[in-house]
Chain A
């Protein structure tokens, strides 16, 4: 194998490249010193090619995109290297020429559709802006083109939609508007930064399909930046894997997914919970944390977390050409190719199964929550039916998964059980005590036993308290420790239980990484010695490799302490991994309940089928072979709920009958419940 110099990455495709990035460095000057966000990155994109840049947070993937567009903050960002686009040196262009290029030849689609459109300007103005500026169109011409673009991205009734404002569009619709803006001037290259991360699975599938189709039809090159390997597999011709500011592997999508030649890519692919493989007992993880880029270690950046590190790894590896035609920044890529080193399988452990004997720990009957609608235009007495007639039970030591898209009421169910909201109707019984009629004294004992772990570990920890104070607080409030010394001991014990070193107790939340903060959240919940924990999207905000660590921790704790979990999440693969039984919710109602293996293998309800079908699988071969049956339409509005079955507006098999009757949740097979009259 020859070692290639970093400046000439792929000699073969050098001639016809649309975009050529050579030895790109981006540094930020911060008060903590210089952060090297991107180091020596080189790659090329051909015309009409779809390339994915994958990496975890802090790997430098978004910074790369902004550096190409020259949109980094002027005062702190420093960019070095060469970026050649269509024969022009982007980094040397004057501001005016760069502005002319942006939106015309290169456009960008951002992650957050909710905040990326100006709330005070009409959609029409925001789409026509690049048309009038770059192409000198008259207002009438631009408006006609904007109409055309809106139909192209699948927004019905474009003419009247143009005069509306962003807040009148749903998240998925706003992302379509962003794509329409990106396409406005027929660009040669679109850079999409996490284009579907903020969207629901079914909407994500629609947007992905749309972008892929448009790129093929209009021959637009596409750079997709994402942390979601499933999205990469669905899109990309080529994949660039980044880790801690450097490219670690680059190659054809099939090669990188099936024969990765860098330990990080290998580890990352193994860490993702997958829908297309049988569930293993434990999730594979990459131990450790992403290095701090302000003072990164010398040598291979991944070495501290790499199970295969040897002496030579203390030296910086260059990019090597591997047997698969890919580039790998690993000294031992040849050994990987010869199958001499491979990640050891995680220890087997026992596969937890649903234990449905004895009395349920928590049972919820006909739980209903209506929120009154406030607003000038609302009719009097109008309500949002957030949760409607939901029933389920959780047994001691069990994990019940609650899945559904945003707005389906899953979080409200969690909040009702925690008594953070008052139910409109229904019953919640915990260990036989009805929570709604419990006395203050009973409630206090029960509150201790029901704990919660939130999604955002940053905003749910008090920034002015140390970790020790945060975890110790419930001990003082509930007088669980007789003395100060006993409390300190207990905190130390809890820290080690969640895998944190005791000295971290003196730190503040902002000094911790996302994964560590989530561990603190878990320790705080455990301090109360609960028997039941509501995990509300507890791992959604974490990177793939960290997500696996937290899920394994939750499972270990369950085995050791006999905890029961209500695991609320939108990620089907994660829910499948951790849950023993699964409840699928849609628009406030339960659609299907079954044990994990049944629901994923033989889903009965059409919504569950659609949901499973829409989730991208991290395997390019599988993704390219299948033609996803796309679910049409968006979630119905809570202001005008559908009559009959709530799913009938999007259901592929709905008939007149479905619009008239509300299907009851029935036991269709032993232990398998579904709410559908067609089964």
Chain B
């Protein structure tokens, strides 16, 4: 198991190098650079000389392989360079936003999983009853309503019902948990709804499949209590496919909440991403892509390890 984990971690290195090469050169292929945006973006006319000087200052005039080499060497020492726009270290820029984005993602996952498991289970157990139909209706809603629109509905109802809006400045949870939750619970709910719908439907269908398995019949034939048949024999097997979905959704939440962040006016990773792309802020874009790629790789590893924890067939090899 340990060897397997180490192997997987080592395998992540070539994967990430591949990502680095791709993102670096793709960015350079796109015409235009940050200097153009910075100095001429507002329509002001700046002399070509000034632009060349600024390029030189940012190191954009050097050959590509030198720039790439420098960036790679920097990353090896966890130095991702400075943002070309704000001139602050990339890691610092990301860190401020990551705290918020990560918290929203974790909260949304918790909300989704804790609602989805009982919801999916009940729907499967009472298949084709009103419970099932209600669940299916609610989850279809979750799948078809965009999160940002649901977020707008939440904001509007808060305003209409309580004449109150969540705070717009981020307070870390370790400083003031109440103020923190007051702000972040709403976006977590907004994206958690869709998330929950996906997971609940997954659990419903995989539980229905598992309930038809021969070993469930065996358990019933042994006279096992029906509750135990569900919790011990069926649900454990049904949760396996749900783990994959939960992991994939979770990684999506880290960088994919562009519009929802806008609605709740959150200064998160999604916002930063859009901003840095529109500014052609090469170093920051590169840093963020690397971060999200690394995140994907390690969440997937975590999923595989979780599988091994749940499934002895993987733990011991077949």
- Minimum CB–CB distance for A105 against chain B, Å: 9
Q: With A115-B215, A116-B214, A118-B233 in contact, do A102 and B317 touch (Cβ < 8 Å)?
A: no
B313 lies within 8 A of A119 (CB): yes
Q: Please give the distance in Å from B77's CB to the nearest CB on chain A.
A: 33
Q: Return B238 CB to nearest CB of chain A, in Å.
A: 11
Which B213-245 residues have C-beta < 8 A from chain A? Answer: 213-215, 217-226, 228, 232-233, 236-237
Given known pairs A71-B221, A102-B223, A133-B223, the reply for A119 and B215 (CB within 8 Å) is yes
In the complex, whether B70 has a CB less than 8 A from a CB of chain A is no
Please state if A119 and B222 are interface contacts (CB–CB under 8 Å).
Answer: no
Q: Which B residues between 111 and 148 are near A, CB-CB below 8 angstroms?
A: 127-128
Name B236-276 residues within 8 Å CB distance of A.
236-237
Q: How far in angstroms is the closest Cβ of chain A from B244?
A: 16
- Complex-state Cα separation, A174 to B239, whole angstroms: 25
Collect the chain A residues with CB atoms within 8 Å of residue B313's CB. Answer: 119, 165, 167
Q: Which residue of A lies closest to B217 (CB)?
A: A71
Q: Which residue of A lies closest to B221 (CB)?
A: A108
CB–CB A120/B310 < 8 A: yes
A134 touches B223 (CB 8 A): yes
Interchain CA distance A129-B232 in the complex, whole Å: 11
CB distance from B301 to the nearest CB of A (A): 15
- In the complex, what distance in Å separates the CA atom of A424 from the CA atom of B33? 58
Is B4 in the interface zone, CB < 8 Å from A? yes
Does A181 belong to the interface (CB within 8 Å)?
yes
Task: Tell me the complex Cα distance, A365–B92, Å.
Answer: 71
Given B4, B224, B311, B316, which contacts A120 in the complex, CB threshold below 8 Å? Answer: B311
A351 CB within 8 Å of chain B = no
A382-B316 Cα distance, complex, nearest whole Å: 18
**Is A118 a contact partner of B215 (Cβ separation < 8 A)?**
yes
Q: Counting CB contacts under 8 A, is B312 at the interface?
A: yes
**Interface residue? B318 (CB, 8 A):** yes
**Which B residues are CB-close (under 8 A) to A102?**
220-223
User: Would B215 and A104 count as touching, CB distance under 8 A?
Assistant: no
| Known pairs A116-B215, A118-B237, A376-B4; A71 contacts B220 (CB<8 A) | yes
Contacts of A107 in B (CB 8 A): 221-222
- Known A375-B317, A376-B4; judge A120-B221 contact (CB<8 A): no
Interchain CB contact (< 8 A) of A101 among B3, B223, B233, B237: B223
B216: nearest residue on chain A (CB-CB)? A118
CB neighbours (8 Å) of A165 from chain B are 312-313, 316
Query: Do A100 and B223 touch across chains, with their CB atoms under 8 A apart?
Result: yes
By a CB distance below 8 angstroms, the chain A residues around B214 are: 110, 112, 115-116
Considering the chains assembled together, what is the distance between the CA atoms of A8 and B229 in angstroms? 38
- Which B residue's beta carbon lies closest to that of A107? B221
Give the contacts of A587-641 with B (CB-CB under 8 A). none
Give complex CA distance A130, B312 in Å: 22
Within 8 A of B (CB), among A92-117: 95, 99-104, 107-108, 110, 112, 115-117
Residues of B within 8 A of A69 (CB): 221
With A110-B214, A110-B217, A118-B237 in contact, do A103 and B223 touch (Cβ < 8 Å)?
Answer: yes
- Which partner residue on chain B sits nearest A108 by CB separation? B221
User: Are A118 and B223 closer than 8 Å at their CB atoms?
Assistant: no
Indicate if the CB atoms of A117 and B221 lie closer than 8 Å.
Answer: no
Q: How far is B215's CA from A112's CA once the two chains are assembled, in angstroms?
A: 10
Is B223 touching A130 in the complex (CB atoms < 8 A)?
yes
On whether the beta carbons of B232 and A104 are closer than 8 Å, the reply is: no
Q: Which of A107, A178, A376 has the most CB of B within 10 A?
A: A376
Q: Mark B203-218, 1 if CB is under 8 A from A, else 0.
A: 0000000000111011
Give which listed residue, A112, A115, A130, A167, contacts B222 with CB less than 8 A. Answer: A130
Chain B residue contacts of A99, Cβ below 8 A: 223-226
Q: Is the CB of B218 within 8 A of A116?
A: yes
Q: How far is the CA of A75 from the CA of B126 in the complex (A)?
A: 11
**Do A103 and B312 form a contact, CB below 8 Å, given A118-B215, A121-B232, A377-B317?**
no
A-B contact pairs, 13 of them (CB 8 A): A75-B127, A103-B224, A115-B213, A118-B219, A119-B215, A120-B311, A129-B219, A129-B222, A130-B224, A133-B224, A133-B225, A165-B312, A178-B218
Closest 6 CB pairs of A and B: A103-B223, A102-B223, A103-B222, A165-B312, A115-B214, A118-B215
* Residues in chain B within 8 A of chain A (CB atoms): 3-4, 127-128, 213-215, 217-226, 228, 232-233, 236-237, 310-313, 316-318
Question: Chain A interface (Cβ within 8 Å of chain B)?
Answer: 69, 71, 75, 95, 99-104, 107-108, 110, 112, 115-122, 129-130, 133-134, 165, 167-168, 178, 181, 375-377
Given A110-B221, A129-B222: 18 more A-B contacts, CB < 8 Å: A95-B226, A115-B215, A117-B215, A117-B218, A118-B215, A118-B219, A119-B215, A119-B237, A120-B236, A120-B311, A121-B233, A122-B312, A129-B219, A130-B222, A130-B223, A167-B316, A168-B316, A376-B317
